[in-house]
Structure 1
Amino acid sequence: MKTTLTGLAAGLALTLATGASARDLAFAVFVPAASPTVQHVYQPWVDWFNEQAAADDVQITLYAGGTLGRNPLAQAQMVADGVADIGLTVPSYTPGVYPDFDVFELPGFARNTAEGSQAALELYQEGALRGYEDYYVVAMYTSGAYMLHSREPIASVADIEGQRFRVAGQIQTQVIEALGGVPHSMGAGEMAEAIDRGLIDGAMTDASVARTFRVADVAHNHYESSLGVLVFSILMNRGVYDSLPPRVHELLAQSGQFIVDRQVESYAPAIEANIAAWAESPDATLVVPSAEDEAEIARRVQPVIDRVAASASEGLIEAYTAKLEDIRAR
Structure 2
Amino acid sequence: MKPFHVKKLALAAAVAATGLIAATASSFAQEVTLRLHQFLPAQANVPKLVLDPWADKIEKESGGRIKIERYPAMQLGGTPPQLYDQARDGIVDIVWTLPGSNPGRFPSTEVFELPFMMTSAEATSRAYWDLFEKHMKDTEFKETHVLGVWVHGPGMLHSKDPINTIEDMKGMKIRAPTRIINQLLGQLGATPVGMPIPQITEALSKGVIDGCVIPWEVTLALKVPELVSNHTEFGGDHALYTTTFVLAMNKAKYDSLPDDLKKVINDNSGQEFAAFAGRTQAGADGPSRQVAVDRGNNIITISAEDTETWKKAAQPVYDNWVEEMKGKGLDGQMLIDEARSLIDKYSKN
* Structure 1 length-normalised TM: 0.85
Larger radius of gyration: 2
Matched AA of 1:260: A
Matched AA of 2:115: P
Aligned pair 1:113/2:85, yes or no? no
Could you say which residue in structure 1 is the equivalent of 2:72?
64
Aligned pair 1:270/2:284, yes or no? yes
Could you say which residue in structure 2 is the equivalent of 1:6?
none
Could you say which residue in structure 2 is the equivalent of 1:255?
268
CA separation of 1:264 and 1:77: change in aligned 2, threshold 3 A: closer
SS of 1:76's equivalent in the other structure is helix
Q: CA RMSD in A?
A: 2.7
Could you say which residue in structure 1 is the equivalent of 2:8?
none
Contact 2:150 2:275 in 1 (8 A): no
CA separation of 1:42 and 1:288: change in aligned 2, threshold 3 A: same
- Partners in 2 of 1:196 and 1:309 — Cα distance? 37
- Partners in 1 of 2:168 and 2:347 — Cα distance? 32
Query: Equivalent residues in 2 for 1:90-239 (5 A)?
Result: 90-127=98-135, 130-225=139-234, 226-239=239-252
Report the Cα offset of residue 196 of structure 1. 4.0
Q: Which moved more, 1:284-293 or 1:145-154?
A: 284-293
Contact 2:232 2:299 in 1 (8 A): yes
Could you say which residue in structure 1 is the equivalent of 2:348?
329
Q: How many residues align?
A: 315
- Partners in 1 of 2:93 and 2:209 — Cα distance? 39
Matched AA of 2:189: G
Q: Deviations over 1:280-316 (max 9, x none)?
A: 5583222222344322222222121122234444211
Could you say which residue in structure 1 is the equivalent of 2:26?
19
Q: Which moved more, 1:182-191 or 1:222-231?
A: 182-191
CA separation of 1:43 and 1:274: change in aligned 2, threshold 3 A: closer
Contact 1:68 1:83 in 2 (8 A): no
CA separation of 1:157 and 1:46: change in aligned 2, threshold 3 A: same
Q: Deviations over 1:84-117 (max 9, x none)?
A: 1222221000001111111122111113432332
Which residue among 54, 57, 72 is the counterpart of 2:63?
54
SS of 1:19's equivalent in the other structure is helix
Contact 1:128 1:316 in 2 (8 A): no
Q: Deviations over 1:136-156 (max 9, x none)?
A: 101112222211111122222
Could you say which residue in structure 1 is the equivalent of 2:297?
284
Contact 2:117 2:340 in 1 (8 A): yes
Matched AA of 2:81: L
- Partners in 2 of 1:53 and 1:104 — Cα distance? 34
Contact 1:100 1:311 in 2 (8 A): no
CA separation of 1:250 and 1:291: change in aligned 2, threshold 3 A: same
CA separation of 1:199 and 1:25: change in aligned 2, threshold 3 A: closer
Matched AA of 2:345: D
Report the Cα offset of residue 118 of structure 1. 2.2
Matched AA of 1:137: V
CA separation of 1:20 and 1:247: change in aligned 2, threshold 3 A: closer
- Partners in 2 of 1:201 and 1:155 — Cα distance? 15
Report the Cα offset of residue 277 of structure 1. 5.2
CA separation of 1:136 and 1:197: change in aligned 2, threshold 3 A: closer
CA separation of 1:210 and 1:63: change in aligned 2, threshold 3 A: closer
Q: Which moved more, 1:110-119 or 1:319-328?
A: 110-119
- Partners in 2 of 1:114 and 1:251 — Cα distance? 23
Aligned pair 1:319/2:338, yes or no? yes
Q: Deviations over 1:15-70 (max 9, x none)?
A: 99932411222222232223222222112111211222238x44433333323334
CA separation of 1:31 and 1:120: change in aligned 2, threshold 3 A: same
- Partners in 2 of 1:246 and 1:42 — Cα distance? 23
Matched AA of 1:19: S
SS of 1:241's equivalent in the other structure is helix
Q: Which moved more, 1:15-24 or 1:32-41?
A: 15-24
- Structure 2 unaligned segments of length 5 or more: list them: 1-21
Matched AA of 2:296: D
- Partners in 1 of 2:308 and 2:279 — Cα distance? 31
- Partners in 1 of 2:226 and 2:54 — Cα distance? 32
Report the Cα offset of residue 253 of structure 1. 2.6
* Structure 2 length-normalised TM: 0.81
Identity of aligned residues (%): 25
